[in-house]
């Protein structure tokens, strides 16, 4: 394994040189992509309106095991699937929780009318447990899977 860095680019080469003198595999990434994990927060403001906020969870280099955030205390995890026609009118989150989209795509609308789309792999921090809530609907005509991780 060989690794290196120049300006904002890092690289990691794994494997041995083959007969042609080239390495078998290489991964190149920008340091800025490894410094944090992007999360979209949904919360209610002082007027009870739901809002979006873009967050970045800091990550620390832990060597070969990767870049890790600080641990967060959780209360439970729930696995969920919804039908293709999922369209849930304005509602509040039952608890402060992370929602991790495993597949599909959704649109979330806040009570002030702002809409954003989210795809598989994206993480939401849903904290609008009171106020006017948000609306969620599937964008693809397929069963969608997600995880709810309730925070303490």
Digit-coded pLDDT (tens) for 13-28: 455 555 555 545 545 4
pLDDT at 2 over 50: no
Residue ranges, CATH 2.60.120.10, the chain: 35-151
Q: Which of 89, 144, 93, 94 is nearest to 122 (CA)?
A: 144
Mean of pLDDT values over 33-42: 92
CATH tag, 35-151 = 2.60.120.10
Question: What does the chain look like in DSSP terms, one character per residue?
Answer: -EEEEETTEEEEEEEEE-TTS-EEEEEEEEHHHHSEEEEEEEEE-TTS-EEEEEEEEE-EE-GGG-EEPPP--EEEEEEEEE-TT-EEEEE--SSSEEEEE-SSEEEEEETTS-EEEEETT-EEEE---SSS-EEEEESSSS-EEEEEEEE-
Q: What integer pLDDT is reported at residue 21 of this predicted model?
A: 52
């Amino acid at each position: 394994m060989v690794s290196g860095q120049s300006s904002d680019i890092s690289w990691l080469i794994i494997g041995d040189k083959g007969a042609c003198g080239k390495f078998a595999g290489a991964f190149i990434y920008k340091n800025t992509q490894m410094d944090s994990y992007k999360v979209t927060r949904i919360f209610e403001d002082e007027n009870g309106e739901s809002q979006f906020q873009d967050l970045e969870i800091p990550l620390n280099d832990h060597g070969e095991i990767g870049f890790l955030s600080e641990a967060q205390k959780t209360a439970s995890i729930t696995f969920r699937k919804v039908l293709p026609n999922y369209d849930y009118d304005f509602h509040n989150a039952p608890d402060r929780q992370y929602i991790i989209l495993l597949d599909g795509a959704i649109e979330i609308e806040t009570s002030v009318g702002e809409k954003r789309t989210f795809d598989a792999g994206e993480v939401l921090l849903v904290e609008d447990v009171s106020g006017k809530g948000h609306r969620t609907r599937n964008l693809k005509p397929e069963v969608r899977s997600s995880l709810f991780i309730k925070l303490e």
